[in-house]
Copies of this chain bind each other. A is one copy, B any other.
Amino acid sequence: MSYFKDIPPIQYEGPDSDNEFAYRHYDPNEVVMGKRMEDHLRLAVAYWHSLAYEGGDPFGGRTFERPWYGDDMAAARVKADAAFDMFGVLNVPFFCFHDADVRPEGDSFAESRRNLEEICDVFADKMQQTGTKLLWGTANMFTHRRWMAGAATNPDPEIFAYAAATVKACMDVTHRLGGENYVLWGGREGYESLLNTDLTREAEQAGAFLTKVVDYKHKIGFKGTILIEPKPQEPSKHQYDFDVGTIYGFLKRFGLENEVKLNIEQGHAILAGHSFEHELALAGSLGLLGSIDMNRNDYQSGWDTDQFPNNVPEVALAYYEVLRAGGFTTGGTNFDARVRRQSLDPEDLVLSHVGAIDICARGLKAAAAMLENGGLEKMRAERYAGWDNEASQAMLKSESLDQIAARVEETNLNPQPRSGRQERLENWVSRFV
C-alpha cells in the first residue's frame, strides 16, 4: 500500500482554494509567454532529499520512519515505489537521483553497478508507465569513506580510477533512462587543509577528469548537457567549484567552456557571498546557464540549509534571469530541498513540495510579466545608451589610452554622474511580485 495513500493527487484549484492539498498557482497547462508552465519550470523532485534523507543533522540521528529504509535491493524497490507514487501525487514531470540514493552499496564496484542497473530497470518501467522523466542523473562521490579526500582530485590514483568507473556507470544509466543532463557536484573536490594539499596537481586531475567525462558523453552519443554545480564549501573547507566566476576560469583553462554548463543553486550562491540572481545572470552572460537547484538558505545560518523556497520576490528575480537567458532547454527546476527533521509525516513531504511549486509558479509568472512589460530592460538600455554610437564604440575597440587622454584634455571633459535610480527600479519590480 502506498506510503501516500491518504493523500489525494494534487491538482490546480486556483488562488482562492482553501484546500491545503491543492495548487493555487501552479497550473501545468497555463500558458506563460507562449509556453505551458510545466514546460517552463520543468520541475523535478530530488530523490536524495525526499526519499533517502532520514532526518539526521550534525547533532542528531534519524527522525523519520519510512518503510523503505534499509540497505538491500528489496528496500530499494519499496523506495522506488514510494518515489513514483509521490511523483504521481505531485504531478511533476521530472526527477533526479544519485546512484547512492537508489541502490544499496555492493561488496564490490561491480556489484554496486549491477545494483544500480537493476534499479534503473525498475525506473525504466515506471517511467514508461507514468510518463515521469529524468532531468538528470549524478554520482554520489562524497558519502562513502573512500571519497573523504576527494574523487577526481584525490591524492590516491586508485580513488581517481574508482571515481571514473562510478561516473561512467552513472552516465550509462542516465543515458539509458533518457536523462536530459548529467550533473557533477564536487562536494569533496576541494580541501580540508591547505597544508596537505597540492593545488596544482588537483587542478590538473580535475581538468583531466572533466575532459574524460565530456569525451565519454560524445562516445556514447549522450545528447544531454554536462553540468557542474558550484558550491564554495561544505562539506570541504574549500571547494574548487566555488562559484560561477571560478568555474568559468576552470573551463577556459581546460578548453571546456563550450562543452559544459552550470547547475546553479540558491543556497550555494548565498554561501559564496552572492545573490541567486547574480549567479544566474553571470552564467547567462557567459553562456553557461544550464539548470537550477531551487531551494532557499536560511540567512542566519552559515551552512547549507536546503529549505523549500517561500519568498516570491526572490524567486521571481531568479526566473527573470532564466527567462532573459532564453529559458531552460535541457535544464529545469530541481527541488534540492528537504523537509526539516521535525516534519515527520507523509503530508509534510508532499505539502512542502506543493508550497514550493506554487512559489515557483508565482515567481515565473511575475518574471514573465516583468519581461513582457519590458520596463526594466528599457531602462537598462537607456542607461548605457551613450555607448550605442560609433564614437563610443571606436573608443572602446580601437583607441589607445593616450589617444583617449589627449581627447579628454582637448575637450576639457568633465562628465557628470546621473542617478542610478535603484529605488525606482525596485519599486517597479515590487509591482509585479
In the complex, what residues of B have CB within 8 A of residue A245's CB? 242-243, 245-246, 249-250
A146 to B313, CA, bound (A): 32
Segment of A38-46, A73-81, A82-90, A338-346 engaged in the interface with chain B: A338-346
In the complex, what residues of B have CB within 8 A of residue A59's CB? 142-143, 187-188, 234-235
A198 to B400, CA, bound (A): 24
The answer to the question of A7 belonging to the interface, with a C-beta cut-off of 8 Å to chain B, is no
The answer to the question of A418 belonging to the interface, with a C-beta cut-off of 8 Å to chain B, is yes
Task: Give the dominant DSSP class at A's interface.
Answer: helix
A421 → chain B closest CB, angstroms: 6
In the complex, what residues of B have CB within 8 A of residue A31's CB? none
A309 → chain B closest CB, angstroms: 10
A352 to B419, CA, bound (A): 13
**Which residues 19-65 of A have a CB within 8 angstroms of B?**
20, 24, 55, 57-63
In the complex, what residues of B have CB within 8 A of residue A275's CB? 194, 299-300
The answer to the question of A395 belonging to the interface, with a C-beta cut-off of 8 Å to chain B, is yes
The interface size bin for chain A is: 35 or more
The answer to the question of A259 belonging to the interface, with a C-beta cut-off of 8 Å to chain B, is no
A171 → chain B closest CB, angstroms: 8
Listed by A's residue number, 26 A-B pairs whose Cβ atoms lie within 8 Å are A59-B235, A61-B143, A63-B148, A108-B412, A145-B417, A146-B416, A149-B420, A158-B413, A158-B415, A161-B395, A165-B408, A192-B342, A193-B420, A195-B380, A195-B429, A198-B384, A201-B387, A238-B278, A310-B313, A312-B433, A342-B420, A345-B419, A347-B424, A348-B419, A348-B423, A352-B424
